Each structure stands twice: as C-alpha cells, then as structure tokens.
Amino acid sequence: MKLLTLAAHVCAVFSSNDTGMLRTVQKVKNDKARDVVTSLDQRLHDIAACYVQNHLPGCKLMSEEDENMSSSVSVLGRGEWLVVDPLDGSHNYALTMPGYGFMSAHVIEGKVEGSVVVLPEHGLYFVLEADELLVSQPFACSTATPSGSVYYAYPPKFEGAGLESRSKLTELIDNRTSGFYRYGSACVGLYNLIRGKHYAFIGHCIRIWDALAYFPLLDHFGISASYHIGRSGLTLIASSNQGFIEEACGIIAQTENTVFSLLTRGDKLVISK
C-alpha cells in the first residue's frame, strides 16, 4: 500500500518532541482569527509534497497550504491528484486544545481511489487503498441513537441564500436531534460520526480538502451521504438515517438551487461548473 508510507511519515511528525515549536502561528488567513497556519501545517504540507514527488510520479498536489495553488476543484475530474489538508483544526492545535488531524485523498480521473486520515490524539490512522482498509488499532463503526447530535461545519461568513439555508438547517437540527456541535475540525467531526458519537454530519460550503478523504471511508462503513461540489466548495451531508439526509439536502437544494449527488464508491466525482 503506497499510501501507508505517507501515513507513517505523518505519524512520525505528530509524535516528534518539538511540539512547542510546531504550535507557532506563522500567519492568520484573510484576517480570520480562527483560520491560522502553524509551523505544523507547513511541516505536514512539506511531507505531503515530498511524498508526491517520490512516490506518485505524474501526480499533482492540491493542498490547503500551497500558496501557489490557483486550480479550481474542476481540475480534479482529470489527471491524478493528492488532495491534502495538512492540519485540520490548526487553531485548536495552536491553542493546545483537542480536535485536529491530517487528511489526504488520492484522486485519479475524478475518482477517489484512496485516502489517509490520521488522528494523533486517538493514536489512530485509516489508510484505504484498492478497496482495502488498514487501521492502526481495532476499530468498530457504531450507529448513533436517533436523538444524537449533529456536527455542523460552515464558513465564517454566509450571505443571502446560504444564510437562509443555515437558519433552516439549524431549525431542522433542533427539531430532529439533540442539537449541533462545532469544535473546529471537520476531520474529527466525521470521525465521531463514524464511531457513533454524532447522528449526522453537515459540511455546508466547506473546502474540498475538509472532507474529501472521508468519502471512501463513509462508503466502507456503510454510512449514507450526499454531496455537491461547485464554486462555493463542498457541501456534504452524511448520516445513517437517509430521511435526515433527504430533509437537509432538500433545504439547501430549494434555497440555493443546488443539485446533490449520492456518494457511491467507485463513481466519478460530480463537479458542477
């Protein structure tokens, strides 16, 4: 498994002794206090770039920390890409708070063929490649109770239709579940969905690297999901309850004129122009 080498390098960085230095905030993006870049972000980005160069000839890197990246998500429909979020939950990490992880998705001609998710706080990594899943320790997927919570991720600022959708989604969550959580890491939110701590996950206009690595994992663990990829980013709704997914998708589809696709393993990503 080629991707196992990437997971090993990432785990080695997370377990290094220079955590104090790696928590240093190098910059704040777009004057948004919660969107920071730490030294660890850059270190893990460099690890991913080196991995692509040495192990995936012909592959291109799409990383959150690539300052030179100007590619639209539409390019994922052709060629080979490694889509990386070096440190999802950077603000948590900088503040020594829980909730962070590494994600990468290997995309070939529009299909997510493999992924790596590393959750250092849990001593856990998932490597999925060629339909084979390798987990660093025994792990069992669980289903949340119907009264469970929802992890709801959305960007700092919403306007117009997006703001209306958020209001209606919040009402749906309040009516159908025990409420929603936001703790600054979609990576950990999806992990908690898989292990039954959340009833559903809603990623509303998040960035492509915030959740793409979980696409094959959701399918592997039998968790239903629908998604939309377009100019506004990625919207992903996942749950073991198909009815909840349909209601949430219906709200966004009606308010934002968005068409959702069913997440199915082996299918090419549907990317709207």
45-84 pLDDT tens trace:
999 999 999 999 999 999 987 766 656 899 999 999 999 9
Flag the least confident range among 38-47, 127-136, 161-170, 184-193.
38-47
Cα 8–chain centre separation: 20
Joined tokens for residue 141: 């997927």
Look at the chain and count its residues.
273
Flag the least confident range among 95-99, 101-105, 125-129, 250-254.
95-99
Q: What is the pTM of this model?
A: 0.93
Residues 90, 207: contact at Cβ < 8 Å?
A: no
Pairing label, strands 149-153, 132-135: unpaired
* Domains of the chain by start residue, with CATH: 2-135 (3.30.540.10), 149-262 (3.40.190.80)
Query: In the predicted model, what is the mean pLDDT of residues 87-114?
Result: 94
Task: Grade residue 20 by pLDDT with cuts at 50, 70 and 90.
Answer: low
User: How far apart are the C-alpha atoms of 194 and 217, rounded to whole Å?
Assistant: 9
User: How far apart are the C-alpha atoms of 250 and 258, rounded to whole Å?
Assistant: 9
Residue 124's nearest CA partner among 97, 101, 90 is 101
